[in-house]
Chains A and B, each alone.
Chain A
Amino acid sequence: MNTKIAIQNLNAYYGKEQALKGIEAQIPAGGITVIVGPSGCGKSTLLRCLNRLLEETNGVRVTGQVLLDGEDIYARKADVTEVRTRVGLLAPKPFPLPMSIYDNVSYGRRIHGLEKLERRNGRSLDRKVEQYLRAAGLWDEVKDRLHDPASGLSTGQQQRLCLARALAVEPEVLLCDEPTSALDPISAQRIEEQLKLLSAETTVVIVSHSLRQARRLADHIIFLWMGNLVESGPSAQMFSAPRDERTRAYLYGDIG
């Protein structure tokens, strides 16, 4: 099993309050890793450490190492924009950028200067936009109104648009922070299907407060409890034979 991300002695503080306490975990390359645990246990904090988005919040301090393909993304010489390009994020609520559907998908490619390369080979940006809208399962619904404002889409469509937008920069890892929590069951199911398909090529890390969702999607589970990592391992083993008492209690609904 190849390790894509290795988390070593990771601590995160909001002011004086410590939200993550010495996390040690491995996220295997490919497949879906689901981070579970009761609310307030640091799931989202951990996730947002993995693309260094946490440091955009005021008063946050992070110590420790996160190795992406063996290189520490918190190293002094690490380029934060490159880290975030390689590690994409799908937020819990959709935030379409204030521009058209087409521009939302092409935004990442444009800011990275990929567009100029693509201009030379004709209409390939159009093809990319189509490709990623299809990958997010949104193409058929928006193909006739690509240049309408993205804010006109429904919430479920907006979330799939955000997925397409994240995919368009071709990340190696896709982080999803409760990606279906704001959605109706049908939209949620669609997002889950797309994530399953994606996990064939991309490493997907999902934060979920739903054990059912974890059961459906996870190849690998990380269980957090009050800022501590309790246990992690292959999904089948975690659900059938948890090693830690707290995991067992959580799985059977006694805590959380």
Chain B
Amino acid sequence: MGSTEINRCLSLFISGKKNYIALMKEETLIRPRTHGQRWRLPLPKFGRKRQDQVAGRLMGALTLTAALLAPLMALALLLRALPILRVTPLTDLLTGQDWAPLKGLFGFSPFIVGTFWVTGVGMLIAVPPSLLTAIFLAEYARPRLRSLLIPLIDLLAGIPSVVYGIWGILTIVPFIEKVAAPWASRWLGVLPLFRSENPTGYSVLAGGMVLAVMVFPIIISVAEDVIRAVPQGLREASLALGATRWQTIWHVVLKRAGAGVLAAIVLGFSRAFGETMAVLMVVGNVAKVPNSIFDPAYPLTALIANNYGEMMSIPLYDAALLCAALILLLLVLAFNIASRWVLTRLVRYE
């Protein structure tokens, strides 16, 4: 998987196309038919050169619109956030601990930290099992088993996030409250990370677990594609030296597929980072920096979704929420740029 494919994959994904892999395949598979009667676009009949020119301009204009959407949105958010940025410096907003709109205190720190906590815990739970699953599907499963399992796993990607949220409330939250939290405080309580006082179950861990399940199908299907794209000759080169299957996977296949596997993780991370509904339903929504995975958190996405449109008479509240949206956008952007930079370097040194 070269850097261009990874970039296509990323951009298709970021643009919200759920079946981005199918799209990528279509792009490479569909060839114009050259036999039989050709179907023509019902266009007015002017000269074909003119037609070419018009088509080119039309498509160029559409492309430009699409390309400008994101910068324009960022600009709009910035303009709407300006009132609060005039009153409070950005550094104070980013580091401020207190969120008290009525007193005019808008500290984003708990929300930014909360976003990272939930996403981080989710990725820690999601990445190891999804990679092992991808390796199993690509390297161990026989074709028939693979063609049975992959659609089942892909089903997970089609479930609406609100359903995940309800599943979280009904299953994960009680499980954490009754089983995970008491167990962890008894056996791992020496570590602050696992300490819990009076847990409700609505916690960073609940958000992370729900996110992990949502991210599984993305990481699995992209990583599986990438691993299967490693040439068979390379595997045979290693096997022919007397390497075991696992040695071949570890030293050769994963090394070759490394950049692509990282891209799979990045895609999963981007998905998790911006996920709103399922997370806000289970994460507790308390504007305090969490100290343990059993503490509630309040991610940026949940802050915006819960409050925008309400209590708008409070001065600067609107600007503060749009500033939060701007911060979220910039964080995702920074993350994408950083990961692309890493990926292109990895591909180059492959």
A residues touching B (Cβ–Cβ < 8 Å)?
Answer: 51, 53, 56, 58, 81-85, 88-89, 91, 93, 95, 97-99, 107-108, 111-112, 149, 151, 162, 165-166, 169
Interface stretch, picked from B24-32, B115-123, B127-135, B249-257, is B249-257
- Asked if A169 and B255 sit within 8 Å, CB to CB, the answer is no
Count of CB-CB pairs between chains A and B under 8 Å: 72
Whole-angstrom distance between the alpha carbons of A89 and B232 in the complex?
A: 15
At the interface, yes or no: B159 with Cβ under 8 Å from chain A? no
Given contacts A95-B231, A97-B252, A99-B255, contact A111 B243 (CB under 8 A): yes
Decide yes or no whether B238 CB sits under 8 A from chain A.
yes
* Chain A residues within an 8 Å CB radius of B232: 56
Q: A53-B239, A97-B255, A108-B241 known; 7 other A-B pairs, CB under 8 Å?
A: A82-B242, A84-B242, A98-B234, A98-B252, A98-B256, A98-B350, A99-B255
Residue on A with the closest CB to B234?
Answer: A95
Q: Which of A58, A85, A98 contacts B241 (CB 8 A)?
A: A85
Instruction: Answer whether residue B5 sits at the interface, using C-beta atoms and an 8 A cutoff.
Output: no
CA distance A165 to B251 in the complex (A): 15
Name the contact of B349 in the complex, choosing from A51, A93, A149, A162 (C-beta under 8 A): A149
Interface residues, chain B, CB within 8 Å of chain A? 142-143, 231-244, 247, 251-252, 255-256, 349-350
A53 to B231, CA, bound (A): 15
Determine whether the beta carbon of B239 is less than 8 Å from that of A107: no
Contact A84 B240 (CB under 8 A): yes
Is B241 a contact partner of A88 (Cβ separation < 8 A)?
Answer: yes
Q: Which residues of chain B are near A83, meaning CB under 8 Å?
A: 242
A51 to B, closest residue via Cβ: B240
Give 4 closest A-B pairs by Cβ, nearest first. Answer: A85-B242, A89-B240, A108-B241, A95-B233
Q: What are the residues of chain B within 8 A of A166 when measuring CB–CB?
A: 240-241
Question: B19: shortest Cβ distance to chain A, in Å?
Answer: 26
Q: A95-B233, A98-B256, A99-B255 are in contact. Are A53 and B240 (CB under 8 A)?
A: yes
With beta carbons under 8 angstroms apart, the residue of A51, A95, A169 that contacts B237 is: A95
A-B contact pairs, 20 of them (CB 8 A): A51-B240, A53-B236, A56-B235, A56-B236, A58-B142, A58-B143, A83-B242, A85-B242, A93-B233, A95-B231, A95-B236, A97-B237, A97-B251, A98-B234, A107-B238, A107-B241, A108-B243, A111-B242, A111-B244, A165-B237
